[in-house]
């Protein structure tokens, strides 16, 4: 004979069933709400072909990469002059032209207009900023000297000027990458940093076109090929 359930058992069973029903109702309501929200406000999907955002610091450091490759060209040219090896001075003239147009009149201008003033106003890295600015001014003078000498003849003095440019600008770029740019990011904050990134990109497109950076890198690569220093593997220790 089957035992009748006690009153307590009946109450527990009723409570359990109500709990299950309530939980199921909440789950269904949640699903419906989520579906409606998804239909009304779909999550933005990033196009696979969209470029990732480039920050101002990353932009400036990429341009320092162009500078370093120009310095490799200057190094090779100076080495050939010092060893009386054949050298087409048009390579030096072309490299100096890229330095003037891209690194001094564009890259250096961005630093002088947007980076240095903000750090001075915030009383950050005052001495460093003053030194970097003096080196910008001196760099333009040296570039003038390189272009003038390369337009004349191969001389030991040209090699010396090429070496002096590299001696100044390698530490110059290193101090900017490791000290100046991190301090700059702290000063402008996240939103200001993003806005400057857009400003930098706009200026680059105005001066060099939509793919200006890639085109400049291509020009540098052509100069490297003319000196047979285009193979990265050849620099392996």
Residues in the chain: 237
d(CA 151, CA 22): 87
Report whether pLDDT(19) > 70: no
Among 162, 116, 117, 112, residue whose Cα is nearest residue 142: 162
**What are 48-86's pLDDT values in tens digits?**
555 556 677 787 888 999 999 999 999 999 999 999 999
Q: What share of the chain is helix, strand, coil (3-state, %, to 5)?
A: 80, 0, 20
Check residues 235 and 29 and name the one with the higher pLDDT. Answer: 235
Instruction: To the nearest 10°, report the CA torsion of 157, 158, 162, 163.
Output: -30
Report whether pLDDT(187) > 50: yes
**What are 86-107's pLDDT values in tens digits?**
999 999 999 999 999 999 999 9
**What are 122-160's pLDDT values in tens digits?**
999 999 999 999 999 999 999 999 999 999 999 999 999
Report whether pLDDT(42) > 50: no
Q: Which two tokens stand for residue 208?
A: 């060099």
Among 17, 15, 35, residue whose Cα is nearest residue 27: 35
- pLDDT value of residue 57: 79
Q: Residue ranges of the domains in the chain?
A: 56-230
Q: Which two tokens stand for residue 36?
A: 């409606």
- pLDDT value of residue 212: 81
- pLDDT value of residue 207: 78
Q: Among the listed ranges 37-41, 90-94, 221-225, which one has the minimum average pLDDT value?
A: 37-41
- pLDDT value of residue 201: 77
Class of domain 56-230: mainly alpha
- pLDDT value of residue 53: 65
**Per-residue confidence band for 182, with pLDDT thresholds at 50, 70 and 90:** very high
Among 169, 158, 140, residue whose Cα is nearest residue 69: 169
Q: Which two tokens stand for residue 155?
A: 């001389």
Within 10 angstroms of residue 127's Cβ, the number of other Cβ atoms is 7
**Per-residue confidence band for 44, with pLDDT thresholds at 50, 70 and 90:** very low
Q: Is 196 exposed, middle or buried (0-12, 13-18, 19+ CB in 10 A)?
A: buried
Q: Which of 156-165, 179-188, 196-205 has the highest mean pLDDT?
A: 156-165
Percent of the chain with pLDDT over 70: 77
């Amino acid at each position: 004979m089957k035992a009748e359930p006690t009153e307590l058992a009946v109450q527990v069973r009723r409570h359990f069933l109500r709990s299950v029903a309530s939980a199921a109702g909440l789950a269904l309501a949640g699903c419906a709400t989520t579906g409606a929200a998804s239909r009304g406000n779909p999550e933005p999907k990033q196009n696979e072909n969209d470029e990732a955002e480039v920050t101002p610091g990353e932009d400036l450091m990429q341009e320092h990469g162009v500078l370093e490759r120009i310095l490799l060209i200057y190094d090779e040219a100076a080495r050939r002059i010092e060893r009386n090896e054949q050298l087409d001075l048009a390579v030096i003239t072309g490299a100096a032209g890229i330095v003037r147009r891209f690194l001094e009149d564009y890259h250096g201008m961005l630093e002088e207009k947007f980076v240095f003033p903000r750090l001075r106003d915030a009383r950050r890295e005052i001495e460093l900023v003053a030194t970097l600015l003096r080196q910008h001014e001196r760099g333009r003078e040296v570039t003038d000297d390189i272009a003038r000498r390369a337009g004349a003849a191969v001389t030991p003095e040209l090699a010396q000027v090429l070496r002096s440019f590299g001696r100044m600008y390698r530490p110059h770029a290193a101090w900017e990458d490791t000290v100046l740019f991190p301090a700059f990011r702290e000063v402008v904050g996240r939103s200001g940093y993003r806005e400057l990134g857009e400003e930098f990109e706009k200026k680059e497109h105005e001066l060099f076109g939509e793919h200006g950076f890639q085109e400049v890198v291509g020009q540098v690569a052509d100069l490297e090929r003319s000196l047979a220093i285009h193979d990265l593997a050849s620099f392996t220790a």
